[in-house]
Structure 1
Amino acid sequence: MIRTLARSVAAFALSVPLAVAASAVPVGSDYGWQWPLSLSAGDAGAYRVELTPDIYAAAWSPTLADVIVVNGDGHPVPSTLVDATVEERPVLREVPWFPLPGGRAQRDIAAISEIDTDGRLRRVELRGAEDAATAWLLDASQLDGGLLALRLSWADSQPAFEQVFRVEASDDLKQWQPVQPEARVFDLRRDDARLLQGRIAFTAPTQARYLRLLPLRASMPALQLTAVQAEVRLPEAASSWQWRALAPRAVRVDGRDGFEYRLDGRYPVTRVDLATAGNASSRWTLSVRDRDDAPWRVVATDWVVYRLGADADSRSPPQLLPAPLRDRAWRLEPESPVAAPPDLLLGYRPEALVFVAEGTQPFAVYAGSARAKRAAAPVTQMLDALRTRHGADWRPAAATPGSGTALAGEAALTPSRDWTTWVLWTVLLAGVAVVAGFAVSLLRRGSAPTG
């Protein structure tokens, strides 16, 4: 009988989690707010939602883990958060190129070059057959942005080869710095198979007027170059930045004046600036924290801010932060007293939520939850595969958030207790107590004297 009772208790205890899971509330009750999505294409499969200030303001998680996409049945779909800089894909630009005589390729190129007033190369003079071209000079003077790589093309009649090049950069054709010490380029063939590598990646983004391409293997035949393209990362457009202006609240910090500010959302802040009243010049320390009971963390010291008149060129540039910050509380401490407290300007570039359109429409963004989060999904790997297939400029179709409405509202921002664990332990302890009591009863009955 004891065994039978124990088995019954165990079976009941195991059924508790299943019963709790079966009675779980819909996912919508775990989130505070929702935004319906309008899809730019009905059958794109993958979509990109740029996060709005309302979504940032609703998010509870410091990592935006509580921002998800759900389908028409209210079920979450695979999605991932994409940083603005990750989505920036380089553009290809044609680069004028000139053959260089092998005997002078690493000497004074300026002496054999003719340059326009805007820095554009007009021609490079080759003298004599003894100076046959084995290297190349590239004119990047008209490119705006950081150079990431070169893509070389050569004639179809080019014999099979494998060459190693060094790429150097210069602004005056006299002083040269390496941007890629060794880059392997090849065109290998066997029967009908062909293996090509014509891309030369730089060790770091480069901005220079001129590049030169120097072969490191003298025994290899000269490359029959036909075209050169540069992968360029364009400068960030000013319109892509959004700013939050925060009003100051005067505080005392170690006996001195300071100012605190409150951010209303989980924005990925990477730039900070001050809006001063009139001319100003001061030095500041900037600190942040996410909770009122947490210690302050210094993120910028000796930050000099100045403004002279209304000319934008006569003011200090924004302070760059080493990594995005989503903290709620910000504090400024001036090195010396200031005439008026400044507004704090926090700059960010909106992120995007990329999702796979699983299930039925309509889709919606849910945000704001202290007890639910976005599940991990291999969306990034899928995007990489699609860019490989469709080209580096491919992007998911756009999905635009509409007006937000409340789901559970503020109630979703309160962490829930894990009642499943408590119920399970209670049932197990109760079962143990019942079994123990029954065993004691049997022992007493077995030890009683018989008449």
Structure 2
Amino acid sequence: MIRRLWWMALLPLAAQAADDFALQWPLQPAQADAGAYRVTLDAGVYRAAYWRDLRDVQVLDADGKPMASALQAAATPIAAPARQVQLDWFAMPAATATTAGGDLSVMVQRDAGGNVVSVRSATGAAGLSAGDPSWLVDLGRRAGQVQALRVEWDDQPQALDLGYRLEGSDDLRRWQVLDPEVRLVRLRNQGRQLDSDRVALSTSLRYLRLVPLQREGAPPLRALRGELAGDAAADDWQWLELAASAPDNAAPARFRYRLQGRFPVQRVDVAMPPNTAVAWTVSSRDDDRKADGAEPAWQVRATGWNTWTLQDGGRRQASAPLELGQESADREWQLQAEPAVAGTPAPVLKLGYRPGSVVFLAQGRAPYRLVAGNARATARESRLEPMLAALRARNGAQWQPAAAALGEPSVRAGDAAYVPAAPARDWKSLLLWAVLVAGALAVAGFALSLLRGQRPAGD
């Protein structure tokens, strides 16, 4: 009977230990017999999380036991292979380019957009003079985007070794030397071939020219192509839009925002009315950074961030998002206009993040479920990182465990899971104080008994 009463007393504690997370999601593995799985976290998981390090995001088996798991940030996007585009180029008389950076004795015709449409000798000669020609390249709207030039010959010479001076200009009059000697090489030896037909670029100038350093020897040119950096393969940015809280009358043009959850924010943007230009100081803070009960201090993320929107006819253009450099899981954000002008409209704050994932080992009984939201969760150390690093070294950097998808969420402990644990009592101090008080009472009682024993006999 006594043992039964003990179990009945422990049942509420066991239930509380099992249901100490706010929400739970069933996991749906894409492969039934995989030894490890990766679960991509969605916005619901980040909203439910209490701790900034996501210590309260865990995977449990069918018996409620936590599985060995590791939190991972979003993988760095892999750049796609470089793209090549056809460039507009023109041959110029060889006798016109003799000095570095000098003007050319040619007439260049351009259209209203600055695009070169024809090149001819200033003397009116129809043909080119003897010798290797120079090449004029118009990058057009791709100026600043082209990372290299690719040279394609009209025929396939057996061997060549040519030198060129690379120059750049924005107006076709003033030229600057970008590379004093570029080598274009094709060599063959015993069935092997060495080709160097690439000219690296690092300039935003629109017009380029390749001036030969030799008098002759270059084969006819078929094409010049521009090499553009490949776009990132992954574009999984997610955006949260926050409205400003009540305005601060004591500080004009200061707006504050509250973010629910622990999102790994890496980008900041604003949505403003058309035809607006404002510079902002961006700050963030969190309650877990309080010192001695004081208000947490704001951490400045950026100053002088210029934002603008322009409505030009039917086309709307806006400034680029702000890159924070490192992710932040702070809950409170603040925008302060520079200068602080009263009447500045409150923008919609947009916070961008890339979802991370949880990798776990299938150790216990299926089905598995992911839980999140627990103010009493303690920090735990992951033991999976060495194994994951070894598997990626063996199978390639992009190796990933089998996927598992999140099902529909359900309430587990609800809001009760966000109640912080009561401060731990210092039982040693309480016991010491109890001993001291008991000792003081004993001494007082002993003294009182002595005083009573020393009274005169006649009293």
TM-score bin, normalised by smaller chain:
0.5 to 0.7
2:279 to 280, 283, 306: 283
Q: State the match for 2:127 in structure 1.
A: none
Q: State the match for 1:304 in structure 2.
A: 306
**In 2: Cα distance, 1:51 partner to 1:295 partner:** 30
Deviation string 1:20-74 (CA, Å, 9 cap, x unpaired) is 9xx7666533322111111100111111111111110110001111111111111
Q: State the match for 2:361 in structure 1.
A: 356
Q: State the match for 1:326 in structure 2.
A: 329
- Give yes or no for contact 1:89–1:392 (8 Å, CA) kept in 2: no
- Give yes or no for contact 1:246–1:261 (8 Å, CA) kept in 2: yes
**In 2: Cα distance, 1:67 partner to 1:113 partner:** 64
Q: State the match for 2:399 in structure 1.
A: 394
Deviation string 1:278-302 (CA, Å, 9 cap, x unpaired) is 2211111111111282111111110
1:202-217 equivalences under 5 Å are 209=227
- Give yes or no for contact 1:113–1:121 (8 Å, CA) kept in 2: no
Q: State the match for 1:265 in structure 2.
A: 261
1:315 to 309, 318, 322: 318
Deviation string 1:156-200 (CA, Å, 9 cap, x unpaired) is xxxxxxxxxxxx87688989xxxxxxxxxxxxxxxxxxxxxxxxx
- Give yes or no for contact 2:83–2:227 (8 Å, CA) kept in 1: no
- Give yes or no for contact 1:115–1:121 (8 Å, CA) kept in 2: no
1:409-428 equivalences under 5 Å are 409-417=414-422, 422=426
- Give yes or no for contact 1:282–1:338 (8 Å, CA) kept in 2: no
Say what the alpha-carbon RMSD is for the aligned residues.
4.3
In terms of fraction of residues, the more helix-rich structure is: 1
**In 1: Cα distance, 2:276 partner to 2:283 partner:** 21
Q: State the match for 1:203 in structure 2.
A: none
- Cα distance change of structure 1 residues 316 and 91 upon mapping to structure 2, 3 Å threshold: closer
Shift of 1:353: 0.8
2:61 to 55, 66, 71: 71
2:19 is paired with a residue whose SS is helix
Shift of 1:369: 1.0
Q: State the match for 1:340 in structure 2.
A: 345
Shift of 1:277: 2.0
1:127-166 equivalences under 5 Å are 127=160
- Give yes or no for contact 2:374–2:418 (8 Å, CA) kept in 1: yes
Shift of 1:265: 1.3
Shift of 1:306: 0.4
1:54 is paired with a residue whose SS is helix
Deviation string 1:54-111 (CA, Å, 9 cap, x unpaired) is 110110001111111111111111111111135x45778899xxxxxxxxxxxxxxx8
Q: Which runs of 5+ in 2 are unaligned?
A: 1-9, 85-131, 140-148, 162-184, 212-225, 442-459
**In 2: Cα distance, 1:360 partner to 1:139 partner:** 60
- Give yes or no for contact 1:270–1:348 (8 Å, CA) kept in 2: yes
2:34 to 17, 39, 44: 44
Q: State the match for 1:30 in structure 2.
A: 20
Q: Percent identity over the alignment?
A: 34
2:278 is paired with a residue whose SS is strand
In the superposition, the TM-score normalised over structure 2's length comes to 0.59
- Counterpart residue type for residue 390 of structure 1: N
**In 2: Cα distance, 1:255 partner to 1:427 partner:** 52
- Counterpart residue type for residue 152 of structure 2: R
Deviation string 1:111-161 (CA, Å, 9 cap, x unpaired) is 899999994432485238x995699556789xxxxxxxxxxxxxxxxxxxx
1:151-300 equivalences under 5 Å are 209=227, 234-235=231-232, 237-238=234-235, 240-252=236-248, 255-291=251-287, 293-300=295-302
1:400 is paired with a residue whose SS is strand
- Runs (4+) of structure 1 exceeding 4 A deviation are 23-27, 88-95, 111-119, 130-141, 168-175, 310-313, 421-434
- Counterpart residue type for residue 317 of structure 1: A
- Give yes or no for contact 1:27–1:74 (8 Å, CA) kept in 2: no
Deviation string 1:381-433 (CA, Å, 9 cap, x unpaired) is 222222233333321111111121222222221222366x6567778998999
**In 2: Cα distance, 1:94 partner to 1:302 partner:** 35
- Cα distance change of structure 1 residues 405 and 428 upon mapping to structure 2, 3 Å threshold: farther
- Give yes or no for contact 2:186–2:194 (8 Å, CA) kept in 1: no
- Counterpart residue type for residue 232 of structure 2: P
**In 1: Cα distance, 2:136 partner to 2:362 partner:** 54
- Give yes or no for contact 2:252–2:343 (8 Å, CA) kept in 1: no
- Cα distance change of structure 1 residues 365 and 49 upon mapping to structure 2, 3 Å threshold: same
1:366 to 353, 366, 371: 371
- Cα distance change of structure 1 residues 248 and 401 upon mapping to structure 2, 3 Å threshold: same
- Cα distance change of structure 1 residues 27 and 47 upon mapping to structure 2, 3 Å threshold: farther
**In 1: Cα distance, 2:243 partner to 2:309 partner:** 19
**In 2: Cα distance, 1:140 partner to 1:26 partner:** 67
**In 2: Cα distance, 1:295 partner to 1:289 partner:** 6
2:248 is paired with a residue whose SS is strand
**In 1: Cα distance, 2:434 partner to 2:58 partner:** 40
- Cα distance change of structure 1 residues 362 and 307 upon mapping to structure 2, 3 Å threshold: same
- Counterpart residue type for residue 64 of structure 1: L
- Cα distance change of structure 1 residues 307 and 418 upon mapping to structure 2, 3 Å threshold: closer
- Cα distance change of structure 1 residues 284 and 312 upon mapping to structure 2, 3 Å threshold: farther
**In 2: Cα distance, 1:305 partner to 1:353 partner:** 36
